[in-house]
Amino acid sequence: MKSILFTDLDGSLLDPQSYSYEGSQEAIRWLKERQIPIVFCSAKTRAEQEVYRKALGISDPFIVEEGGAILIPRGYFPFSLQPQRWIDEYAVVELGLPYEQIRAVLDRLKGEFRGEIKTFGDLRAEEIAQDSGLSLEMARLAQQREYTETLKFEGPEEEVRRFLRRVEEKGLSWSRGERYYRVRGKADKGEATRVLLDLFKKAFGQVRSIAIGNSLSDEPMLRVVDCPILLQEPDGGWASVDISGLHRLEGFGPAGWTRAIKALASKL
């Protein structure tokens, strides 16, 4: 049976502070030797994920911006695809709303917020780097958003809740990550994972699906796989994820991620 691994990045494969993957390479080599696809499923943009894919030598499909789109390398599956569009050598299956539509809604709602809203689209890359801990180059790549907008609120918590309710009233969804809120269309990591799993099943027949995450935003992805794994959050606690068959493993970042792969070794 073919095993497929879906993984979050920040706080899972990547360190939540430094964004380093150091310490995960041995586990990645182990997976690649066994021809187990490693599918990134993250809030990060296509441009950001490409950096890590290249550095780690990963050439499998990947899911960007909270499920906004699936990118599949040309010729990856043994059948033809009919994507919405092609970008470079990728077939792009778009599930989310375009960035411009999301920004238009947020721009109309901003005046209702009693406080300040900072979005990646409005900030300079230098400001994002300073606030997030990203390098300047990675901050620029994080701004290349296509299906989500990233926000930071400065104002009363009750105002934040009221604003997010207004976002929902406009037909959008939101999630909260390690540092920021993200606004998107209705698509999420779970829907994108299901769509991609159907393609893997078409190619390989029966498959065993595994997912590793560490936050509440990973719950949709974890909910649709055979083997969901939840790592700890950086403070040592656990995200409020309640899924049948969920495996909670100690650790986070590359060390926790590698521990998860070793725990799975006998099953893959």
Report, as residue numbers or ranges, the catalytic residues: 8
Residue 35 — left, alpha, or beta (φ > 0 → left; ψ -120 to 50 → alpha)? Answer: left
Q: Are 230 and 241 in contact (CB under 8 A)?
A: yes
Q: How distant, in Å, are the alpha carbons of 10, 120, 123 from that of 140? A: 17, 10, 10
Q: How far is CA 200 from the centre of its chain?
A: 19
